A = this chain, B = another copy of it.
Amino acid sequence: MKIRPPTIKDVAERAACGIATASRVLNGRGPASEKTREKVLAAAADLGFEFSDLGRSLQSSTTRTIGCVVPSLANPVFADVVQAAQAEANRAGYQLILACSDYDAELESRAIRTLLAKQVDGLIVTVSNADESEGLEQVRARGVPCALVYNRSCGDLPAWTVDNRAAAAAVAREFAARGHRHTGFLALEFGRSDRSRERFEGFAEACAALGMAPPVLLEIAEQEGQLLELLRALLSANRDVTGIFASNDYLALAAMKAARGLGMRIPRDLSIVGFDGISTGLMVEPNLATVVTDPRAMGEGAARTVLAQLAGETPPAGPDPARTFSFRQGGSLGPPAPGSTDGGEAATSPPSRQ
């Protein structure tokens, strides 16, 4: 029982005036005598008239709608991004159309295409690989305003992201300062996220520069349920690493749990550092040391960039890279235990302890 909602034509008819007049009155622009104004308003009220955005959009070729593509909402980082972007868009009278790509480049492109067909006025997007995204091609071809989030700036597209390499380097320094020499980088679906790759590369570089052993890449392919078992296996197989840098907090927390299950004590037997700064990190004991970022600021900034372009204003500058992250100390990071297999193939003298 779908009701046909009243149109402006119905209103005009009931108010015994032309459509153009009704439109002017209802929109509050253009001249109209007091008498007709009242008639129109009354008619609209009687009918419970509401404009249909469809006709409007068609005529103005503007939908007041922004498309948003993120990998997943299960990661609180992206949930925050979306929520912030949504709020900001709303404030400017825009709605957000959401699509989740599930970290799949194919779905990503399809989503972008669909959004474009829906005539979104702008786009806010996180892609798995900004440099070779077929979807972004189309966006450029159409000249639709678009901002990247958590992707490095790519071509002419503005980007709101953290400086992954610098942040990873900071983590390396924290490890080094405490005397760690053998570390691991823990990633889920490594291949599917250039964020992960950047963090690993930045970390590896810094480790080298700091005279540490190259970090071993601990990669987990799928997360089907047995994440913990996989982690346990990984940890058991790499007893010589004294510190683990996880590519996100969730993974870091899981690693903490797995390590505990193995009877390891944190940070004595294993130090763990995360990435993102989600609030859960503060709920566990010991607190998770991590790189804290500000997803809301990213989402909001991206939205503002797009909205400014739509309004013909000059968009805000992207974030200051150095301010996009900060390191948060936490009990999960400490010096390795004296007895740990620190010596490895290189270092001979144990690093000094406080």
Contacts and interface: CB of A to CB of B under 8 A. Distances in A.
Nearest to A309: B2
Contact of A119 (B52, B144, B257): B52
Interface string A168-201: 0000000000000000000000000000000000
A96 B95 contact: no
Given A54-B63, A285-B260, A95 B118 contact: yes
Contact of A98 (B55, B86, B254, B282): B86
Residue among A73, A87, A141 facing the most chain B CB atoms (10 A cut-off): A73
Nearest to A142: B3
A272 to B, nearest CB: 12
Nearest to A85: B98
A40 to B, nearest CB: 19
A221 interface: no
Interface string A210-228: 0000000000000000000
Contacts of A48: 141
Contacts of A55: 58
Given A73-B83, A117-B52, A280 B253 contact: yes
A322 interface: no
A5 interface: yes
A47 to B, nearest CB: 12
Interface in A46-69: 48, 50-55, 57-58, 61, 63, 65, 68
A53 B254 contact: no
A152 to B, nearest CB: 23
A116 interface: yes
Nearest to A256: B283
A311 interface: no
B87 A80 contact: no
A63 B285 CA distance: 49
B116 A50 contact: yes
Contact of A74 (B51, B74, B76, B119): B76
Interface of A: 1-3, 5, 48, 50-55, 57-58, 61, 63, 65, 68, 72-74, 76, 79-80, 82-83, 86-87, 90, 95-100, 113-119, 141-144, 253-254, 256-257, 260, 280, 282-285
